[in-house]
Structure 1
Amino acid sequence: MSPNGMKYKDEHIYEEFTFNSVAIIILSKGKCGLSSCTTCYLTAMAIADLLVIITEVILYQINYHYFPLNFLAITPVCSVRSVLLRAATDCSVWFTVAFTFDRFVAICCQKLTSKYCTKKTASVVLGTTSTLFFLKNIPIYFRFKPKIILDNVPWYCINKPSYFTDPRWIGFRNFEKILNPVMPFGLILLLNALTVRHILVASRVRKGLKGQKKTDNCNDPEMESRRKSIVLLFTISGSFIFLWLVYVLYFFNVANGLDDLSFYIFEDIAYMLRNLSCCTNTFIYVATQSKFREQLKEAVKYPATSIIKLINKSKQ
């Protein structure tokens, strides 16, 4: 995160943390009317987003602005936090890519659906992705050196000079840039474009086979089920593209021609929207999934109903 990043208000932190936690609980119950495969991906995405909020917002932003000198600022701890943040961010992004690819297969590759779109495959994909990105980010730990040393204790993390000059670090940085955000952004756009193309072609063929005209209002259960799946897919991937777009533009140095103040504002907005992408999926589920809304209402009512039941029992 940029050192110039905007401060998060405490209530916003609480909301982001709460929303993602509630989403994980509701999705893990498997009562949202979604396939086990889709539920697995959405739960993993919610967990990764929650980890980003914990490592970036709570362990860094709140700590940096309100508790600047505590054990989290010790160099080894700070380095570990950076590794976890990078790994969580990579997983959050690539879980979205994995979900997009899964829905692409389900919609466009019917012959592979029964083999690929399963809970077992999703678990393998998510587990492998998590492991690879954790291993990939281990070198980040060795990127930093202490800013100051007090009583033989190293404090804070700053980049080693070799991080900018050593060919190995330069190669690692370039690899990181390609892996995130260039490849995910491009893959999501490509997969969505192919999915839209397939949907348009399939829709025309299906209507032709049924002899439907544009004015017909015949219900098609298969198309309705597919429509719900498409709405969820496009809303999640569309939100990702929108919220990461400014960061991608910042990544490609489009703001370099701005004056210092405008550049810092652009940079702050880029990081703010990128972090915001970690708390939007819950709202998407509420907006697009009726059964998720029902489960959320039950979760909200549960404390009150439990208290009422206890009161009634005590009166008996």
Structure 2
Amino acid sequence: MHAVPQGMIFAIYYPVIAVIGIPANLAVIVVLSRRRCGLSVCVIYYLVSMAVTDLLVIITVVILNRISGTYFTSSFLSITPVCSFRSALYFAAISSSVWLTVAFTFDRFVAISCHELKNKYCNEKMAALIIGIVSVLSCLKNIFIYFIYEPVYIINNIPWFCSIKVIYYTSPAWAAYDWIWIIFTPWLPFVLILLLNVLTVRNILVANKARKRLQTQRSGENHSDQEMEKRKKSIVLLFSISGSFILSYLLLFVMSFYIRIGNVTYSSSYDFTNSSFALQQSGYMLQVLCSCINPFIYAGTQSLFRAEIKKALTYLLNPLVKLFKM
């Protein structure tokens, strides 16, 4: 009796995420690529790359895995090699999205707190290099996931569905890989982003005190005020993105500890009364939600970004308005 409404949660939630997240991230990619939002090229590189990976997360995780698994249970996507490839792609997209958020947070930490390194590190060439390295390493790290699955059924010599091999749970090599995977996503990124934000806040407080002392000694305060305003916008953007990541991944972070340390096994049935199942699925739901939050953060914190979105919407809607009037 309870399985139908609980299953409906996934049947409704994930399509809504896809409908909102895909156009939102596409809008971010288009608008930021035009470079008219008053952001540095370095920041634009990171934000566009994050939007691309968030878009990939929605396509691979939400559409190809969650929605297809709910509405198309026996499609071509369920053939074992395709299923294994989808899973590897899924984890590669998640890993890339997570570590690009770490890279952006570190870049802004250097820009705000490390003035000696700012010119050497915070530039478009270094940003492109970091983005490339993160993307390649994310793919390489998750290639092995393709090999952990075996077919559930073989019908007419065609392997169907994916089941994790028994050796994955018994082999020391696979156990080590599992620990490496969970440490690098999400434990280490979560801790790094939290630490970098704490250090950034501390340095901002120290810098603000020093600036206030200097302002009392100088007559020309306009330049200082403009610089402070620019830094403030950068800080708000950084903390908004980092904060949404921390909140979205907090439950997944707790869940991973709960599973590894407590030796807990998941329930395969759609039973939200089972605490481990509810914790697992809620963590995954928040994880994919993170992939469609950033566009709304940009719109809320960047006035020029909002203006560009309005221009784009006006350009797209004008022909429809004229057609409606005719």
Query: Under a length normalisation based on structure 2, what TM-score does the superposition of the two structures give?
Result: 0.88
Distance 1:131 1:222 in 2: 36
1:276 maps to 2:289: yes
Deviation at 1:218, TM superposition (A): 10
In structure 2, what is the equivalent of residue 166 of structure 1? 171
1:30-41 superposed matches below 5 A:
30-41=35-46
Could you tell me whether the CA contact under 8 Å between 2:197 and 2:239 is conserved in 1? Answer: yes
In structure 2, what residue type is equivalent to 1:226? R
Shift of 1:303: 1.8
| C-alpha distance in 1 between matches for 2:256 and 2:174 | 18
**How many corresponding residue pairs?**
307
Contact 2:153/2:161, CA 8 A, preserved across alignment:
yes
Structure 1 residue 118: deviation in Å? 0.7
| C-alpha distance in 2 between matches for 1:203 and 1:101 | 20
Establish whether residue 286 from structure 1 lines up as the match of residue 310 from structure 2: no
Distance 1:179 1:257, change over 3 A: closer
1:6 maps to amino acid: F
> Any idea what SS the aligned residue of 2:36 has?
coil
- Alignment match, 1:305: 318
Q: Give the aligned CA root-mean-square deviation in angstroms.
A: 2.5
CA drift at 1:304: 2.5
Distance apart, 1:311 and its partner CA: 11
Deviation at 1:136, TM superposition (A): 1.0
**Match in the other structure for 1:140:** 145
3-state SS of paired residue (1:33): coil
Matched to 1:37, the amino acid is C
Residue 65 of structure 2 aligns with an amino acid whose one-letter code is Y
Q: Which residue of 2 aligns with 1:265?
A: 278
Q: CA deviation at 1:147?
A: 0.7
| Counterpart mapping for 1:226-265 below 5 A | 226-253=231-258, 261-265=274-278
Segments of structure 2 that go 5 or more residues without pairing to the other structure are 1-6, 267-271
**Cα distance in 2 for residues equivalent to 1:10 and 1:251:** 26
Indicate whether 1:55 and 2:55 are aligned.
no
* Structure 2 SS opposite 1:149: strand
- Which residue, 6, 10, 33 being the options, matches 2:10? 6
Aligned to 2:136: 131
Q: Which amino acid aligns with 1:52?
A: V
- Where does residue 202 of structure 1 map in the other structure? 207
Mapping of residues 10-25 of structure 1, within 5 Å: 10-25=15-30
What displacement does 1:130 show?
Answer: 0.5
Q: Are residues 1:152 and 2:165 paired?
A: no
Which residues of structure 1 form unaligned runs of 5+? none
One-letter amino acid of the structure 2 residue matched with residue 27 of structure 1 = L
User: For residues 152 and 219 of structure 1, what CA distance do their matches in structure 2 show?
Assistant: 72
**Alignment CA distance shift 1:235-1:142 (3 Å):** same
Residue identity opposite 1:190 in structure 2: L
Q: What is the aligned partner in structure 1 of residue 104 from structure 2?
A: 99
| Higher alpha-carbon deviation: 32-41 or 202-211 | 202-211
The 3 A distance-change label for structure 1 pair 309 and 35 is farther
Amino acid at match of 1:58: I
TM-score of the aligned structures, taking structure 1 as reference length:
0.91
**Residue 41 of structure 1 contacts residue 95 of structure 1 at CA under 8 Å; is this kept in 2?**
yes
- Contact 1:143 / 1:163 at 8 angstroms: preserved in 2? yes
Amino acid at match of 1:137: N
The offset of 1:235, in angstroms, is 0.4
Partner of 1:192: 197
**C-alpha distance in structure 1 between counterparts of 2:182 and 2:282, whole Å:** 19
- The answer to whether the 8 Å contact 2:14/2:66 transfers is no
Question: Following the alignment from structure 1 to structure 2, what is the Cα–Cα distance between the partners of residues 218 and 268?
Answer: 50
